[in-house]
């Protein structure tokens, strides 16, 4: 009894000590990230950074599902590319302002996510991945055939429009800060979901699904909710990309795009907040650098993937957090 009261007295101080340095370091890193985000367009080509941010958000959305719920989707291009089409169509053909075009894109991604999720979550593991792949291929062929996507041509010269009727997004810096703001909003929202009561249940389901069921949780509903949330943020990223690039094409709904986002997430670090963004940065930078050379990009990304799987499975950020430096900073 005496033993118990002693430990009970000790716990609060121990608990108060542990997270303090960690929180400080994390805040510092977040501030550095924000400063970089604000400074980037003055040193780098803005469209490149915006593309990077779109893919970073896409990978972070994917990671919400793979890293924090334990579901490997092989069909996330559907939400990314689908939303790009919806946003582009609304902005170009209907003349919608960008904010409404984006909302339509996200709602479309949510609808697609509901359908794909409701079918796929009935199975687990590799079967789940196969069903998402099959459904996303169906969506790809639908996009190829439907008139509004303009098939192989895609939707070209999409107007960026005027945000809230005030901000002209044709000005590169305006567009950049709009994309950056949506990126920060998306990451913050994903962070909140992961670190919420709901996120705790997702974690429990990932850790031991049977046990979660035996505690009375309707696991399927949580998985579907996480799937739809992931689809929504992937849709936000896709819609933004359509506005940035001023086009929406079949490339964004191919299975290669679904594979690319898996690669970005694994390379950067599954189950970490910064990992997918870093992974996306590396892949996009590689593609950008090699775009003008004759050397096929896929060989390089394939090699990068193999090295990642064989040498640092936790990904760049994951390994950094596990390293001595990461432990010293209290990141683990």
Partner 1 sequence: MSDPVQTTEPRVVLSARGLGKDFSGFTAVNNVNLDVHHARIHALIGPNGAGKTTVFNLLTKFLPPTRGRITLLGTDITKMSPDVVARMGLVRSFQISAVFPHLTVLENVRVALQRPAELHIQFWRPMKSLEVLNGRAEVLLNDLGLMEYRDTRAADLSYGRKRVLEIATTLALDPEVLLLDEPMAGMGHEDVHMVSDIIREVAQHRAVLMVEHNLSVVADICHHVTVLQRGEILAEGDYETVASDPRVRTAYMGSDA
Instruction: Name the one range near partner 1 by CB under 8 A: 12-20, 38-46, 293-301, 304-312.
Output: 12-20
Q: Rounded to an integer, what distance in angstroms lies between the CA atom of residue 108 and that of residue 79?
A: 8
Q: Rounded to an integer, what distance in angstroms lies between the CA atom of residue 82 and that of residue 135?
A: 13
User: Is residue 322 at the binding interface for partner 1, with CB under 8 A as the rule?
Assistant: no
Question: Please, what is the minimum distance in Å from the beta carbon of residue 240 to partner 1?
Answer: 22
Tell me whether residue 6 or residue 324 sits nearer to partner 1 (CB atom).
Answer: 6
Q: Rounded to an integer, what distance in angstroms lies between the CA atom of residue 267 and that of residue 259?
A: 12
Question: Please, what is the minimum distance in Å from the beta carbon of residue 161 to partner 1?
Answer: 29
Angle at CA of residue 100, ends 153 and 91, nearest 5° = 25
For residue 131, give the H/E element and its range: helix 125-145
Tell me whether residue 226 or residue 244 sits nearer to partner 1 (CB atom).
Answer: 226
| Contact yes or no for 68/204 (Cβ under 8 A) | no
Per-residue mark of binding to partner 1, 199-238 (x: CB under 8 A): xxx-xx--xx-xxxxxxxxxx-----x---x---------
Contact positions with partner 1 (CB under 8 A) in 178-197: 192-193, 195-197
Tell me whether residue 63 or residue 87 sits nearer to partner 1 (CB atom).
Answer: 63
Among 4, 145, 157, 292, binds partner 1 (CB under 8 A): 4
Contact positions with partner 1 (CB under 8 A) in 293-312: none
Q: Rounded to an integer, what distance in angstroms lies between the CA atom of residue 318 and that of residue 309?
A: 13
Tell me whether residue 100 or residue 191 sits nearer to partner 1 (CB atom).
Answer: 191
Question: Please, what is the minimum distance in Å from the beta carbon of residue 50 to partner 1?
Answer: 28
Return the CA Rg of the chain. Answer: 21
Angle at CA of residue 181, ends 178 and 183, nearest 5° = 110
Among 2, 15, 166, 310, binds partner 1 (CB under 8 A): 15
Residue 20 vs residues 64, 71, 86, 196, 322: alpha-carbon distances, Å: 26, 32, 45, 19, 19
User: Is residue 8 at the binding interface for partner 1, with CB under 8 A as the rule?
Assistant: yes
Nearest alpha-carbon partner for 146 in 98, 108, 113, 97: 108
Chain residues binding partner 1 by CB under 8 A are 3-4, 7-8, 11, 14-15, 18, 192-193, 195-201, 203-204, 207-208, 210-219, 225, 229
């Amino acid at each position: 009894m005496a033993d118990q009261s002693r430990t009970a007295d000790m716990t609060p101080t121990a608990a108060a000590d542990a997270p303090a340095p960690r929180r400080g370091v994390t805040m510092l890193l977040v501030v550095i990230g924000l400063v970089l985000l604000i400074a980037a367009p003055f040193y780098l080509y803005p469209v490149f950074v915006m593309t990077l941010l779109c893919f970073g958000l896409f990978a972070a959305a994917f990671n919400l599902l793979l890293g924090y719920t334990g579901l490997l989707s092989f069909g996330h291009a559907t939400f990314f590319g689908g939303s790009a089409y919806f946003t582009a169509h609304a902005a170009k053909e209907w003349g919608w302002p960008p904010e409404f075009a984006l909302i339509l894109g996200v709602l479309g991604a949510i609808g697609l996510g509901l359908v794909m999720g409701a079918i796929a979550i009935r199975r687990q593991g590799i079967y789940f991945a196969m069903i998402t792949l099959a459904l996303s291929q169906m969506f790809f062929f639908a996009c190829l055939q439907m008139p509004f996507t303009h098939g192989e041509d895609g939707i070209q010269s999409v107007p960026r429009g005027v945000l809230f009727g005030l901000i002209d997004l044709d000005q590169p810096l305006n567009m950049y800060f709009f994309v950056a703001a949506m990126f920060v909003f998306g990451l913050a929202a994903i962070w909140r979901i992961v670190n919420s009561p709901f996120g705790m249940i997702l974690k429990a389901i990932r850790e031991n699904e049977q046990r979660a069921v035996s505690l009375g949780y309707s696991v399927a509903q949580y998985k579907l909710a996480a799937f739809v949330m992931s689809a929504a943020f992937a849709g936000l990223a896709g819609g933004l990309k359509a506005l940035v690039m001023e086009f929406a094409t079949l490339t964004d709904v191919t299975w290669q795009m679904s594979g690319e986002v898996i690669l970005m997430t694994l390379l950067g670090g599954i189950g970490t907040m910064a990992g997918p963004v870093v992974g996306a940065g590396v892949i996009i930078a590689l593609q950008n650098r090699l775009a003008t050379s004759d050397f096929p990009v896929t060989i390089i990304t394939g090699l990068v993937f193999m090295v990642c799987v064989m040498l640092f499975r936790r990904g760049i950020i994951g390994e950094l957090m596990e390293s001595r430096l990461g432990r010293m900073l209290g990141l683990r």
